[in-house]
Structure formats: C-alpha cells, structure tokens
Chains A and B, each alone.
Chain A
Amino acid sequence: MSGWFSALRAIVGREALRFLHQRGRFLSALVRPLVWLVVFAAGFRAALGLSIIPPYQTYITYEVYIVPGLCGMIQLFNGMQSSLSLVYDREMGSMRLLMTSPLPRWWLLFCKLTAGVAVSILQVYAFLAIAAGFGIVLPPLGYLWAFPALVLSGLMLGALGLFISSTVRQLENFAGVMNFVIFPMFFLSTALYPLWKMAESSRLLRDICALNPFTHAVELIRFALYESLNGWALLWVASGFLVFFLLALWGYDPARSRPGRD
C-alpha cells in the first residue's frame, strides 16, 4: 500500500510544481474571479435585489452572494484546465508513462484527480484571502468548513474534466468543449443568481439550473462557508463525482484505445 501513496505524493507534487512554474496560469486563475467580483458585481449590485434566503440570515450585498459561485468557477476552470493538460500529455506521450505503471489504473487516475483538486483549493483560498482584502469577510469557521466541501466539489468537477479528456482526441478540439461545458454550466447555475430569481423569468431555465450539478457544488460551498451543511447538495455532488469518475474510468479503459502508428 505504501507504494500507492508514493505514487500519490509524486503525482500531486509534480502537478503542484507545474502549477507554481506557470505563473501566468496562477495569475489568470485569480484575476478571472476578481474581475467578476470587483467589476461585474459592482455593476449589478443596484440591479439585482436579493431577499434573505438560507444560509444567509440577513440582507447581503451582491458581492457577498457571488463569492461561493466564484469559488466554484475557479474549480470549474481548474477541472477543465487539468483536462486540457491531460489531452496535451497524451499527445506529447507522457501519459503513457503513467498508464504503464503497475499500479491500478483507477488509482492512477484518482491521483491525477487529487492533484488537480489540491491545486484548485490553493487557488480558492488565495481568492478568498484577496476577497477579504476587499472587505468580503466570511464567518471565520466558514473558511474551515469550506475545505471538505471544496474537496468534494473539486473532485466532481475534476472527474468531469477527466471524462472529457478521455473523449477528446485532439488538442484543437478542446476550445469547443470549453464553450459547450464551462459557459452553460456556469451561467445555468446559482453562481450568479439564486433559483427563485431565475424562476421569475423562466420556469424551464430554473429547472435546468436545479438539475445542473454545478449548482449543487456552488450551494454546497455556499452553505459550508456559512458553517452549515446542505445535505441535498452533498448528495448531488457526491453522486455526480461517482458518475463522472466511472465514466472517466470507462473512457480510459485500454480496450477502448486505438492503435497508433509505427
């Protein structure tokens, strides 16, 4: 079993090192949600009225509302970024090194997933620290409670990325996937507006949002940041992780692979 953890340590360490080397990636991972927080939220503050809904116990400003959604956005982008780097690794051949290890394939893929989650959580906490600098301070224990929620939501979004990477054959096809996955998932969720607000404009859109696993990831994080548990969201996210991970294992099954060239 110790051999399994050596592999986990090595894969997580390699991913973390790679991330730290790519300063541009770190910077863009932080700038993206900050632009939403500082520019978008300030603009919409007056336009969107929010009533008191759980887990909030008082009126909140729009900036406060979208912080959990932006944490989810960081993890969503990170999941897709990891997926992109897997496709790149496969094209460059380094994925073969991983896949010919004698450890079980599900474990190797789980290690890759864990590495991506670790990197995404680093980004989320860096973002929360900067948001606190802008005056958006959450309950102190909420930062702690959020950790397991971020692990689970990161696993679910990472597993989705892993599955997508198994279906994309060429790097060039990836931009399309980003447009068809990231944007609908983000905008058809509770990241930017609560479900009741969505229902005011369209029942159908509201129902789609309620079925979007990303909505539940955001709600899990939102409740955790306010020291409470949303059991329904937990169930959704855990099931989502399981389904996406099983699909990824199926996607990386060697029986589905195709011969290369000589």
Chain B
Amino acid sequence: MAEALRLENVSLSYGARQALDDVSFSVAPGRFCALLGPNGAGKSTLFGLMTRLLVTRTGRIEIAGHDIARAPRQALARIGVVFQQPTLDLDLTVARNMRYFAALHGLSGREAAIRIDAALDRLAMRERAGEKARALNGGHRRRMEIARALVHEPDLLLLDEPTVGLDAMSRKAITAHVHDLAEDGLSVLWATHLVDEIAPGDDVVVLHRGRVLRQAQASDIAGPAGLAEAFLAMTAEGGGA
C-alpha cells in the first residue's frame, strides 16, 4: 500500500533565502503525524508545495502514490486541506459552504448531499447545517472546515496550525476530533508549534529553518525530559531564535 504522503529531497529557495532544504519524510496510512516547528520553520511553505499553490523543481512529493508534479489533479483529489487562515464564506450557511466545496471537487446532487451529511456527522456539526457561518464561534468554524475537507473522502488530511486563535477548550476538542479521525484510518499531517497537541503515540517530524531535524514517534523524541524540553533543546542546537 502506498504511503499517504512521501516527500523526497524537497528544496525551495526564494531569492537568496533557502525556505526548504532537502526535506524528506513520509506519513504512513492511518497515522497522525505532527509537523512540529517554530514560527518561520517552513511549515506553511511546505503546505503550499503539498497543495500545489507553490511548485519546486527540486525533489519529489507523492500523495497516495501520485506524484504532484506529474499528476497534480489525481494528487489534489486525494487530499483534504484546512488552511491556517479561515476560508469560509461567512454570508453562506454551513450547508451552502459545504456544497460549494463539494462542487469544486466535481460532486453535486444526491451524492454530494449524502457525503456532506456524513462529514458533518463525523464532526458532530450536522445540527448546525442551516446556520450562517458568521453565526458560528471560532471552534465550530474550524470544525466545519475540517468536515468540509472530508467531503470528497480524501486519503490524507492536511491541517496547517488549525488551532490558531482558538480558546483552550476548543483547541482541545479539535485536537481530539482529529486524533479520532486518524484512529478511524485517515492519514493526518498536522502542522503546529505547540507540543501539547501531540499524543505520545503520534509520529512527529521536527522542522527547523527549512530542514528536518528528526522524524520518530513522539514518545521516542520526548525521552525522560518530555517533548517540550526535547523540542526546545533540538531547535536551540539548530540555532533557533
């Protein structure tokens, strides 16, 4: 079975700045993988490449076995994305937002309706389908965006710092929801700089200044001092700010 995500020797420079330097890692099917890095590590740039908002000539990115450079449409069809910046139309209802997204993935009519209901159920958001997005609080807006990213039943869910701006309770709830999705078999790549969003059994890729410092299970990286200390030590060694 192909890995949900595979990056091989991906580099990207922007002028004199090396945004990503020889990045390689993979996400196995059904795993929750945290992409852990401080601000400016290159996480969002990496998300840009994985979603083809950016392209690079150096390295290779495969999503569910599809090379994003050679078969971008097949690769994009297999991912669900939640961007750091909200992408909701606040004047539309939850259901209309979902239908618009489904149509962008070529889904309409009854098939779209069934999938939208299922995705909203998965995130416990179905009773809010008729509400305008503007009426939802920050946590529910995020949950809606996650539900929306699942409508086309992707193999891989990409989330770029999805808890930014949320209160502690919403943050905990969203993190738990996405861990549940991974337990149900969905592959997840979760970008964050907050170690408390990572469970001991999760895979972790530590990214710093555009380079992968380590990929291992969270408990292995943590050691006796804990993940937060290990992360701080690693990024300090790497010359962190």
Contact = CB atoms under 8 A, between A and B. Distances in A.
B51 interface: yes
B103 A262 contact: no
A259 B56 CA distance: 11
Contacts of A2: 106, 108
A101 B83 CA distance: 14
B120 to A, nearest CB: 18
Contacts of A118: none
Contact of B108 (A9, A96, A258): A9
Contacts of B39: 262
A101 B105 contact: yes
B230 interface: no
B106 A102 contact: yes
Nearest to A98: B104
B48 interface: yes
B68 to A, nearest CB: 10
B12 A6 contact: no
Interface in B38-80: 39-45, 48, 51-55, 72-74, 76-77, 79
B9 interface: no
Nearest to A21: B91
A98 B104 CA distance: 7
A6 B74 contact: no
Given A254-B53, A254-B55, A257-B54, A100 B103 contact: no
B51 A9 contact: no
A259 B44 contact: yes
A231 interface: no
B106 A14 contact: no
B19 A259 contact: yes
Contact of A102 (B73, B83, B85, B103): B73
A3 B112 CA distance: 11
Contacts of B107: 3, 6
A255 interface: yes
Contacts of A100: 51-53, 76, 79, 81
Interface residues of A, number: 33
Given A4-B106, A257-B53, A262-B39, A97 B44 contact: no
Nearest to B104: A101
Interface string B1-32: 00000000000101000010000000000000
A11 B40 CA distance: 34
A96 B44 CA distance: 13
Interface string A1-30: 011101101110010011001000000000
B77 to A, nearest CB: 4
B231 interface: no
Contacts of A7: 103-104, 106
B54 A93 contact: no
A190 B40 CA distance: 53
A9 B44 CA distance: 31
Contacts of A6: 102-103, 106-108, 112
A17 B99 CA distance: 14
Contacts of B101: 97
A7 B100 CA distance: 8
A3 B91 contact: no
A100 B63 CA distance: 14
Given A10-B103, A100-B76, A262-B44, A93 B108 contact: no
B37 to A, nearest CB: 7
B86 interface: yes
A54 interface: no
Contacts of B44: 259-262
B131 interface: no
The 6 closest A-B pairs by CB, nearest first: A3-B106, A10-B103, A93-B85, A6-B108, A102-B77, A101-B104
10 contacts: A4-B106, A6-B103, A10-B108, A11-B104, A14-B89, A93-B87, A96-B87, A103-B73, A257-B53, A258-B14
Interface of A: 2-4, 6-7, 9-11, 14, 17-18, 21, 92-94, 96-104, 108, 254-255, 257-262
Given A14-B100, A261-B44, 10 more contacts: A3-B106, A10-B103, A92-B85, A101-B105, A102-B74, A254-B55, A260-B45, A262-B37, A262-B41, A262-B43
